[in-house]
Amino acid sequence: MKAILNGKVLAEASKDDMVFIDGAWYFPPEAVHAQEIERSDTQYHCSWRGDAQYYQTNDGSQQDVAWSYPEMSDQAKERVGRDVSQYVAFDRAVELSD
């Protein structure tokens, strides 16, 4: 599966390596193309997943196109069935293709 924004591939992974949580596909960290996104200043706290880290495109043209949970809570790990800390999900503005 690929995450594509404005013709650029932001991440690419096999569906078998990804996790689907609450309507979003999460890519393993090694599948994310770090040259395309960087951390943003946006802060968010999920009541069951913990603190989120948001990402923007490296050129700054698109804010908060992705997010991850650097350290998922124990409750989240139990609920999801595994630790997906650092996995990255993309905003709906990013096209996901098989």
What is the model's pLDDT at position 15?
96
Cα–Cα distance, 31 to 9 (Å, whole number): 10
Number of domains in the chain: 1
Summarised one tens digit per residue, pLDDT across range 2-19 is: 999 999 999 999 999 999
What is the CATH number for 75?
A: 2.170.150.40
Average pLDDT over residues 54-82: 93
What is the model's pLDDT at position 42?
95
Residue 27 has pLDDT above 90, yes or no: yes
Structural domain of 9 = 2-97
Confidence tier at 60 by pLDDT (50, 70, 90)? confident
Whole-model pTM: value is 0.93
HSE (side-chain half, CA atoms, 13 Å) at 88: 26
